[in-house]
């Protein structure tokens, strides 16, 4: 499989080069030259296949011979070593829980897959250069990346996060690992962190000294494996006889997750509709209405992992449908919800269904409900993208105190925070030049 840049001003590359580069030299996102089709035999027997078998079959055509079969099997088994349960909420609604990984967010899947691919490619290189992964985080990404790359040989990770603007649990996830993971606590907001990272990538003093790479969701190794858990949900629902008219509602920010689900559909998985549920950052629902793509300044919300006004992966969503908004709208709808509506939904899910959703999942629930109103035959699945304990300040005032912490989190709370304070770009540069 070859990958081309969506800006179309540079050469096609193999999977390994696309992963190592992250973004193409012409600043475009890499995109597979074709979406592989899986044979009818795969779809007919999917109930009998293990997670690992499904994952290998789906990922293999995207990776080609960039990773040998034995290693790819090991990588997917290692990456997917936790559960992806489909939990029934009401008659025709279930949630796909994506928070059973080490940092309790769906990003664990992509981050772990990317880390293992990069580790594999570095190991194959003759001269073993060290690579520095540099990321800015508003909370969730940093934890998943830190954990995914923890102790991967040849890779150092430097994470910038805005001081006082991530939850206590998220901060612990960023700052307590040690080893090859360093956290920089930035005196500023997320945009400041992101600006510092961008500047570092363009600073030749730094890039002459270190090979820098990013681990955000534009990397194909983070994006594509996210299609796998849609297939796990499909398998489960097919077993239960509920797979005829599935609607997936995906809480969306940069639109990498939903785009991966749509890739699974185009590979042959039957899905009636994808619903992109967003918060008050409404660029995409407005685009679907009017055809005008016009990002407004980002609005902070309680579902802050989706506070994105110019979603980087939306060009890929469009590309999957030949950049035709009408064609896209036959498989894709988008709805937005305010924080107030999100709180009401969390309360409703708690009181009527005895389930605690996090704010992102609650936005997904609302979008699903809206779509299902006019789709009586459909079976709806909203993705629970993070565990509610990661967003306690938003969740507890609505559903009450959560006293029991999951094991992954409880064990963190006693570990000591270690972070390097950074008040400006020079502090980051000083650290990277060391
Ligand atoms: C990152 C994130 C999202 C948004 O996912 P995208 O792939 O960027 O659309 C939603 N929910 C949670 C909890 C996240 O961490």
pLDDT, tens digit, 9 for 90 and up, residues 330-388: 999 999 999 999 999 999 999 999 999 999 999 999 999 999 999 999 999 999 999 99
Ligand 1 binding pocket includes 261 (Cβ within 6 Å): no
Structure confidence by residue, pLDDT tens digits, 112-129: 999 999 999 988 886 667
Ligand 1 binding pocket includes 253 (Cβ within 6 Å): yes
> Number of structural domains, the chain?
1
Residue 291 domain flag: yes
Residues 169-182 have a mean pLDDT of 93
Pocket test for ligand 1, best of 230, 248, 386 (most atoms within 8 A of CB): 386
Q: What is the mean pLDDT of the chain?
A: 95
Q: Is 50 left (phi over 0), alpha (psi -120 to 50) or beta?
A: beta
Q: Which of 124-138, 161-175, 255-269, 402-416 has the lowest mean pLDDT?
A: 124-138
Kindly report the pTM of this predicted structure: 0.95
Residue closest to 356 by CA, chosen among 421, 400, 290, 412: 400
Handedness of CA 157, 160, 164, 165 (dihedral sign): negative
Q: Cα(251) to centroid of ligand 1, in Å?
A: 7
Structure confidence by residue, pLDDT tens digits, 349-362: 999 999 999 999 99
Provide the 3-class DSSP secondary structure of residue 87.
strand
Pocket test for ligand 1, best of 143, 306, 309 (most atoms within 8 A of CB): 306
Residue 424 domain flag: no
Residue 359 domain flag: yes
Ligand 1 binding pocket includes 107 (Cβ within 6 Å): yes
The token pair that represents 230 in the structure block: 């849609």
Q: Cα(430) to centroid of ligand 1, in Å?
A: 32
CB atoms closer than 10 angstroms to residue 59: 23
Give the pLDDT of residue 23.
87
Taking the C-alpha atoms of residue 76 and residue 80, their distance in angstroms, rounded to an integer, is 6
* Residues 409/423, Cβ–Cβ less than 8 Å: no
CB atoms closer than 10 angstroms to residue 167: 17
Q: Which of 173-187, 310-324, 350-364, 404-418 has the lowest mean pLDDT?
A: 404-418
Q: Roughly what angle, to the nearest 10 degrees, separates helices 69-79 and 107-124? A: 150
* Residues 364/384, Cβ–Cβ less than 8 Å: yes
Give the pLDDT of residue 240.
96
Residues 230-240 have a mean pLDDT of 98
Nearest CA to ligand 1 atom 1: 305
Ligand 1 binding pocket includes 217 (Cβ within 6 Å): yes
Q: Cα(47) to centroid of ligand 1, in Å?
A: 28
Residue 382 domain flag: yes
* Residues 309/280, Cβ–Cβ less than 8 Å: no
Taking the C-alpha atoms of residue 23 and residue 20, their distance in angstroms, rounded to an integer, is 9
The token pair that represents 371 in the structure block: 């779509």
Residues 396-404 have a mean pLDDT of 92
Residue 318 domain flag: yes
Number of helices and strands (H, E) in the chain? 20, 13
Rounded to whole angstroms, what are the CA distances from 95 to 249, 368, 379? 9, 10, 11
Pocket test for ligand 1, best of 170, 257, 262 (most atoms within 8 A of CB): 257
Q: Find the domain containing 372 and state its range.
A: 83-104+223-404
Residue 307 domain flag: yes
Residue 136 domain flag: no
Pocket test for ligand 1, best of 99, 104, 107, 220 (most atoms within 8 A of CB): 107
Residue 230, domain CATH: 3.40.50.1100
Percent of the chain with pLDDT over 70: 99
Q: Cα(217) to centroid of ligand 1, in Å?
A: 10
Residue 45 domain flag: no
Give the pLDDT of residue 127.
64
Whether the per-residue pLDDT at 47 is higher than 70: the answer is yes
Give the pLDDT of residue 405.
87
Residues 391-411 have a mean pLDDT of 91
Ligand 1 binding pocket includes 105 (Cβ within 6 Å): yes
């Amino acid at each position: 499989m070859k990958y081309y840049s969506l800006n179309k001003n540079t050469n096609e590359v193999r999977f390994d080069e696309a992963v190592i580069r992250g973004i193409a030299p012409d600043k475009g996102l890499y995109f597979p030259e074709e979406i592989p089709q899986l044979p009818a035999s795969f779809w007919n027997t999917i109930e009998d296949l293990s997670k690992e078998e499904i994952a290998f079959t789906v990922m293999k055509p995207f990776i080609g011979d960039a990773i040998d079969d034995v290693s790819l099997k090991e990588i997917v088994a290692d990456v997917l070593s936790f559960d992806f349960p489909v939990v029934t909420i009401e008659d025709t609604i279930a949630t796909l829980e994506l928070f059973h990984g080490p940092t309790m967010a769906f990003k664990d899947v992509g981050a772990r897959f990317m880390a293992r691919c990069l580790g594999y490619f570095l190991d194959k290189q003759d001269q073993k250069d060290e690579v520095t992964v540099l990321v800015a985080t508003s909370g969730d990404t940093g934890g998943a990346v830190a954990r995914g790359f923890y102790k991967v040989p040849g890779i150092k990770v430097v994470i910038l996060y805005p001081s006082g603007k991530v939850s206590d649990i998220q901060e612990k996830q960023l700052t307590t690992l040690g080893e090859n993971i360093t956290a920089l606590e930035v005196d500023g907001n997320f945009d400041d962190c992101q600006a510092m990272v961008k500047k570092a990538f363009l600073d030749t003093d730094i890039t002459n000294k270190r090979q820098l790479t990013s681990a955000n969701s534009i990397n194909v190794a983070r994006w594509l494996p996210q299609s796998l858990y849609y297939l796990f949900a499909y398998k489960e629902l097919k077993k239960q006889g509920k797979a005829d008219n599935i609607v997936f509602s995906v809480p969306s920010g940069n639109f990498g997750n939903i785009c991966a689900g749509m890739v699974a559909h185009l590979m042959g998985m039957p899905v009636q509709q994808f619903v992109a549920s967003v918060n008050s950052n409404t660029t995409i629902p407005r685009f679907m209405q009017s055809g005008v793509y016009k990002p407004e300044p980002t609005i902070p919300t309680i579902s802050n992992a989706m506070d994105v006004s110019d979603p980087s992966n939306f060009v890929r969503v469009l590309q999957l449908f030949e950049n035709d908004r009408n064609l896209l709208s036959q498989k894709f709808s988008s709805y937005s919800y305010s924080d107030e509506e999100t709180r009401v939904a969390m309360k409703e899910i708690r009181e009527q269904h005895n389930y605690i959703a996090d704010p992102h999942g609650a936005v997904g629930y609302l979008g699903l409900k809206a779509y299902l109103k006019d789709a009586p035959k459909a079976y709806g699945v909203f993705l629970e993208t993070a565990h509610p304990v990661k967003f306690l300040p938003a969740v507890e005032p609505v559903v009450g105190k959560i006293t029991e912490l999951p094991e992954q989190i409880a064990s963190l709370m006693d570990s000591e925070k270690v972070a390097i304070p950074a008040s400006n770009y020079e502090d980051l540069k000083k650290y990277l030049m060391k």
